[in-house]
Amino acid sequence: MRDFETIVVGGGASGCLCALASDKKVAIIDKDNKLAKKLLVTGNGRCNLTNLQISDKYYNTSIKKYLSVFDNKKTLEFFNELGLVTYSDEQGRVYPISNSAKSVQQVIVNRLSKTTPFISDTILSIKKEGENFVLAGNNDSYSCKKLVLACAKCELLDGLKIKYKAFSPSLCSLKTQSTRNLNNIRVDNVKVSAENNFGQKKSEIGEVLFKESGLSGIVIFNISSLFARQGSFCGKVTIDLLPSLSESQLLQLLEKRRGLDVLVSDYFDGLFVKEIAYEILNRLKLNENRSCTQLNESELLRIAKTIKNLSFDVKGFYPNNQVYSGGVSLDDLDEKLQHKILKNLYICGELCDVDGECGGYNLQWAWTSGYIVGKSI
């Protein structure tokens, strides 16, 4: 058995920041063979570190008191001191100037390699023996007085008898009825509204990417949290293809377009791509081979309502989730993110029941929580 004063389980964003912020010597254990490896797939390989616009409204719970300790500005100062140069885009998302997540990983590894023992091992279980935590790994066993859990592995809490909310994938693509005819079609500036089976609702405007049997894109990722937080991926998603127009304004536009005197199959040309047009026509079972001048008021109204309410039944999710919803409630942790009952156990990152929207918000929580724990152990 290998003994340490403090062990951090998880070498991702929060675990690494914890070790970087700590004045004490800690050991990091992670199943990967290199620290901060998970960062390489964040932000489509660019690593969206944080966002210039940070507030509680982007999260499932209030983290204001934690942000007061280590917010986005302090995060950028911290990484700047490590040698990382960053920039922000028009939406406030912050990236390394290299546009490569490897730059973020490199500055982290460069600093930690000088001070922090790193062990590549998979922790299978944890228990408390007297004053120590005992960790059983795939390759070895470990003991420590202080333990930091910074990994997305709720089952490790079972041996410690710590309550938590089971993980559910969040920020993921949604499975729906077949959308094969729309596969790989993108629509931008659409309004997406969702309602889960518990009557909770959420809406957002942005881009949607259609999959063969589902919906994807940043807006869908954010909407997916509505289902993830209830642990049930059932409900309905509705897309307003033209949110800038009211239904009455859209009707006027459709009536005017009858003057184009083209086939119904070409009626939407210049308004939507053919795939979207055929989806509307198929849903309404309209004859596409007649003249659009023959479309009556009732049909135009049905077309308008379909454009404003293109609905999809949510039947599940795709396992491409960026984060998890669930974990240990902040109510069970003190201001230092130490468990209120089991002392010397600290929780940070994904194992806390905190999840945010796309745009750097989840990484900001990783940095914030990791820093707080690092300064507390």
Q: pLDDT confidence of 129, banded at 50, 70, 90?
A: very high
Measured between alpha carbons, how far is residue 328 from residues 138, 167, 346 in Å? 25, 10, 11
CB 89 within 8 A of CB 95: yes
Residue of 288, 362, 359 lying closest to 325 (CA atoms): 362
Residues near 232 by beta carbon (within 8 Å), at least 6 away in sequence: 196, 197, 198
Question: What SS3 string covers 182-218?
Answer: HCCCEEEEEEEEEEECCCCEEEEEEEEEEECCEEECH
Rounded average pLDDT over 78-82 = 98
Q: How confident is the model at residue 245 (pLDDT cuts 50, 70, 90)?
A: very high
The confidence score (pLDDT) of residue 230 equals: 86
Contacts of 90 (CB under 8 A, 6+ apart): none
Its CATH architecture, for the domain 2-168+324-376, is 3-Layer(bba) Sandwich (3.50)
Contact call for residues 15 and 366 (beta carbons, < 8 A)? no
The pLDDT assigned to 229 comes to 86
pLDDT tens sequence across 3-57: 999 999 999 999 999 999 999 999 999 999 999 999 999 988 999 999 999 999 9
Tokens of residue 336, six digits: 């230092």
What are the boundaries of each domain within the chain?
Answer: 2-168+324-376, 172-320
Q: What are the E-state strand segments in 214-305?
A: 214-216, 235-240
- Mean pLDDT within 165-173: 92
Q: Which amino acid is at 295?
A: L
Tell me which H or E stretch contains 87. strand 86-88
The whole-number pLDDT of residue 236 equals 97
- Span 247-269, mean pLDDT? 96
Q: What is the rounded average pLDDT of the residues 169-173?
A: 92
Average pLDDT over the chain, rounded to an integer: 96
Q: Let me know: does 21 contact 322? Beta carbons within 8 Å.
A: no
pLDDT of res. 294? 96
Between strands 132-137 and 141-149, the pairing is antiparallel
User: What percent of the chain clears pLDDT 70, i.e. is strictly above it?
Assistant: 100
Nearest alpha carbon to residue 236 among 204, 195, 199, 200: 195
> Over the range 229-253, which residues count as b (16 or more CB within 10 Å of their CB) and which as e?
bbeebebebebbbbeebeeeebbee
Q: Is residue 135 exposed (0-12), middle (13-18) or buried (19+ Cβ within 10 Å)?
A: buried
Token pair, residue 243, equals: 């949110």
Round to whole Å and give the CA distance between 82 and 41: 21
The string of pLDDT tens digits covering residues 214-235 is 999 999 999 999 998 888 899 9
Q: How far apart are CA 61 and CA 68, in angstroms?
A: 15
Question: What pLDDT score was predicted for residue 321?
Answer: 86
Q: How far apart are CA 226 and CA 137, in angstroms?
A: 35
Residue type, 90: E
- Predicted TM-score (pTM) above 0.95: no
Instruction: Say which DSSP state 82 is in.
Output: T
Q: Distance between CA 250 and CA 264 in Å, rounded?
A: 17
Residue 120 burial (10 A CB sphere; 0-12, 13-18, 19+): middle
Q: Give the pLDDT of residue 178.
A: 87
What pLDDT does residue 320 have? 79
**Which pLDDT score, from 0 to 100, does residue 332 have?**
98
Report whether pLDDT(175) > 90: yes
The one-character DSSP state at 175 is E
Is the predicted pLDDT of residue 319 greater than 90, yes or no? no
Task: Supply the pLDDT for residue 289.
Answer: 95
Rounded to whole angstroms, how far apart are CA atoms 345 and 376?
Answer: 11
Interior/surface letters 70-97, b for 16+ CB within 10 angstroms, e for the rest: bbbeebbebbeeeebebebeeeebbbbe
